[in-house]
Amino acid sequence: MPVVQSPQPAPVPTFEAQQEQYLQDKVPEGTDPNAVLQVGQERCDQLLSARAADEESVLSELIMSPSQDTADAVTALCPELLPELEAAALGFPDGVFSVGGADPHGEQPSIAPGSYRAYGQPEGCLIMVYAGSGELLGSFDGSAPVTVGADAARVESDQCYSWFRS
Protein backbone atom coordinates (compact mmCIF):
# COMPACT_ATOMS: atom_id res chain seq x y z
CA MET A 1 0.00 0.00 0.00
CA PRO A 2 1.45 3.43 -0.96
CA VAL A 3 2.39 5.85 1.78
CA VAL A 4 0.45 9.10 1.61
CA GLN A 5 2.26 12.15 2.86
CA SER A 6 0.44 15.19 4.03
CA PRO A 7 1.45 18.44 2.32
CA GLN A 8 4.09 20.43 4.12
CA PRO A 9 4.01 24.21 4.29
CA ALA A 10 6.51 25.98 2.09
CA PRO A 11 9.58 27.09 3.99
CA VAL A 12 9.69 30.74 4.94
CA PRO A 13 12.26 32.38 2.66
CA THR A 14 15.29 33.97 4.23
CA PHE A 15 17.08 36.92 2.71
CA GLU A 16 20.32 38.77 3.26
CA ALA A 17 20.13 42.28 4.72
CA GLN A 18 20.50 44.07 1.36
CA GLN A 19 17.82 41.84 -0.16
CA GLU A 20 15.47 42.64 2.75
CA GLN A 21 16.20 46.33 2.17
CA TYR A 22 15.25 46.03 -1.50
CA LEU A 23 12.08 44.03 -0.76
CA GLN A 24 10.80 46.44 1.89
CA ASP A 25 7.39 47.79 0.76
CA LYS A 26 7.73 46.13 -2.67
CA VAL A 27 6.01 42.77 -2.15
CA PRO A 28 2.22 42.84 -2.53
CA GLU A 29 0.31 40.37 -0.37
CA GLY A 30 0.21 36.95 -1.99
CA THR A 31 3.28 37.63 -4.16
CA ASP A 32 6.42 35.52 -3.93
CA PRO A 33 9.17 37.82 -2.66
CA ASN A 34 11.70 35.79 -4.65
CA ALA A 35 10.00 36.91 -7.87
CA VAL A 36 10.23 40.57 -6.82
CA LEU A 37 13.86 40.12 -5.81
CA GLN A 38 14.63 38.49 -9.14
CA VAL A 39 13.38 41.58 -11.01
CA GLY A 40 15.76 43.80 -9.03
CA GLN A 41 18.67 41.42 -9.51
CA GLU A 42 17.99 41.22 -13.25
CA ARG A 43 18.04 45.03 -13.46
CA CYS A 44 21.42 45.06 -11.70
CA ASP A 45 22.70 42.36 -14.05
CA GLN A 46 21.61 44.42 -17.09
CA LEU A 47 23.32 47.54 -15.81
CA LEU A 48 26.51 45.72 -14.84
CA SER A 49 26.62 44.03 -18.24
CA ALA A 50 26.17 47.40 -19.98
CA ARG A 51 28.98 48.87 -17.88
CA ALA A 52 31.28 45.96 -18.77
CA ALA A 53 30.69 46.55 -22.48
CA ASP A 54 30.93 50.37 -22.33
CA GLU A 55 31.51 52.18 -19.05
CA GLU A 56 29.50 55.23 -20.10
CA SER A 57 26.54 53.30 -21.52
CA VAL A 58 25.24 52.50 -18.04
CA LEU A 59 25.34 56.20 -17.18
CA SER A 60 23.43 57.05 -20.35
CA GLU A 61 20.86 54.34 -19.58
CA LEU A 62 20.32 55.70 -16.07
CA ILE A 63 19.88 59.24 -17.44
CA MET A 64 17.45 58.20 -20.17
CA SER A 65 15.37 55.73 -18.15
CA PRO A 66 15.33 56.78 -14.52
CA SER A 67 13.06 54.91 -12.13
CA GLN A 68 12.72 54.53 -8.40
CA ASP A 69 12.82 50.74 -8.78
CA THR A 70 16.18 50.96 -10.55
CA ALA A 71 17.51 53.37 -7.92
CA ASP A 72 16.32 51.01 -5.17
CA ALA A 73 17.94 48.02 -6.90
CA VAL A 74 21.27 49.84 -7.29
CA THR A 75 21.22 51.09 -3.70
CA ALA A 76 20.45 47.70 -2.16
CA LEU A 77 21.58 45.03 -4.62
CA CYS A 78 24.43 46.46 -6.70
CA PRO A 79 25.92 49.37 -4.74
CA GLU A 80 29.01 49.27 -6.93
CA LEU A 81 26.85 51.25 -9.40
CA LEU A 82 26.12 54.08 -6.92
CA PRO A 83 28.70 56.44 -8.52
CA GLU A 84 26.92 56.05 -11.88
CA LEU A 85 23.50 56.55 -10.26
CA GLU A 86 24.71 59.74 -8.57
CA ALA A 87 26.34 61.01 -11.79
CA ALA A 88 23.15 60.27 -13.75
CA ALA A 89 21.22 62.59 -11.43
CA LEU A 90 23.37 65.45 -12.78
CA GLY A 91 22.81 64.63 -16.46
CA PHE A 92 19.84 65.01 -18.77
CA PRO A 93 18.28 63.32 -21.83
CA ASP A 94 17.15 64.96 -25.06
CA GLY A 95 14.39 67.50 -24.62
CA VAL A 96 13.69 71.09 -23.65
CA PHE A 97 14.88 72.29 -20.24
CA SER A 98 14.89 75.51 -18.32
CA VAL A 99 18.23 76.41 -16.73
CA GLY A 100 18.59 76.96 -13.03
CA GLY A 101 17.27 73.90 -11.24
CA ALA A 102 18.52 70.36 -11.40
CA ASP A 103 15.41 68.30 -12.09
CA PRO A 104 15.51 67.05 -15.69
CA HIS A 105 12.66 64.59 -15.14
CA GLY A 106 10.43 66.91 -13.13
CA GLU A 107 7.08 68.38 -14.08
CA GLN A 108 8.93 71.46 -15.36
CA PRO A 109 12.23 69.93 -16.55
CA SER A 110 15.32 71.92 -15.67
CA ILE A 111 19.09 71.53 -15.58
CA ALA A 112 21.78 73.27 -13.57
CA PRO A 113 24.32 75.53 -15.25
CA GLY A 114 27.57 73.70 -15.93
CA SER A 115 29.62 71.88 -18.50
CA TYR A 116 28.09 68.83 -20.21
CA ARG A 117 29.14 66.36 -22.87
CA ALA A 118 27.04 64.11 -25.06
CA TYR A 119 27.20 60.32 -24.76
CA GLY A 120 29.13 59.02 -27.74
CA GLN A 121 28.99 61.37 -30.69
CA PRO A 122 25.66 60.52 -32.25
CA GLU A 123 25.03 61.60 -35.80
CA GLY A 124 22.60 64.49 -36.00
CA CYS A 125 23.14 65.52 -32.37
CA LEU A 126 22.24 69.16 -31.79
CA ILE A 127 22.00 71.22 -28.61
CA MET A 128 20.93 74.84 -28.60
CA VAL A 129 21.37 77.20 -25.66
CA TYR A 130 19.09 80.26 -25.37
CA ALA A 131 19.11 83.41 -23.22
CA GLY A 132 16.05 84.57 -21.31
CA SER A 133 15.29 87.01 -24.15
CA GLY A 134 15.05 84.06 -26.56
CA GLU A 135 18.37 84.97 -28.20
CA LEU A 136 20.37 81.93 -29.35
CA LEU A 137 23.58 81.87 -27.32
CA GLY A 138 25.02 78.88 -29.15
CA SER A 139 24.30 75.80 -31.22
CA PHE A 140 26.55 72.76 -30.84
CA ASP A 141 26.85 69.31 -32.43
CA GLY A 142 27.85 67.42 -29.27
CA SER A 143 31.38 66.66 -30.48
CA ALA A 144 32.87 68.69 -27.62
CA PRO A 145 31.71 69.63 -24.11
CA VAL A 146 29.11 72.38 -23.97
CA THR A 147 29.01 74.98 -21.21
CA VAL A 148 25.55 76.09 -20.15
CA GLY A 149 26.19 79.36 -18.35
CA ALA A 150 24.15 81.01 -15.62
CA ASP A 151 23.02 83.51 -18.28
CA ALA A 152 21.24 80.71 -20.18
CA ALA A 153 17.50 80.30 -19.67
CA ARG A 154 16.66 77.34 -21.91
CA VAL A 155 18.40 74.38 -23.52
CA GLU A 156 17.05 72.20 -26.33
CA SER A 157 18.73 68.91 -27.18
CA ASP A 158 17.82 66.61 -30.07
CA GLN A 159 19.28 63.29 -31.23
CA CYS A 160 22.03 63.38 -28.59
CA TYR A 161 20.45 60.76 -26.27
CA SER A 162 22.00 61.93 -23.02
CA TRP A 163 24.30 64.56 -21.58
CA PHE A 164 26.75 63.97 -18.71
CA ARG A 165 28.23 66.55 -16.38
CA SER A 166 31.87 66.97 -17.37
Sequential DSSP letters for 108-124: S-EE-SEEEEESS--TT
pTM for this model (two decimals): 0.84
Specify whether the CB–CB gap between 34 and 27 falls below 8 A. Answer: no
Best CA proximity match to 56, nearest among 95, 93, 87: 87
Model pLDDT for residues 36-75, shown as the tens digit of each residue? 999 999 999 999 999 999 989 999 999 999 999 999 999 9
Q: How far apart are CA 62 and CA 68, in angstroms?
A: 11
Model pLDDT for residues 141-155, shown as the tens digit of each residue? 999 999 999 999 999
Model pLDDT for residues 99-120, shown as the tens digit of each residue? 998 889 888 999 999 999 999 8
DSSP state of 10: P
pLDDT at 121 over 90: no
What are the Cα distances from residue 54, in Å, to 3, 45, 108, 114?
58, 14, 31, 24
Which pLDDT band holds residue 14 (cuts at 50, 70, 90)?
confident
- Sign, Cα dihedral of 119, 120, 125, 131: positive
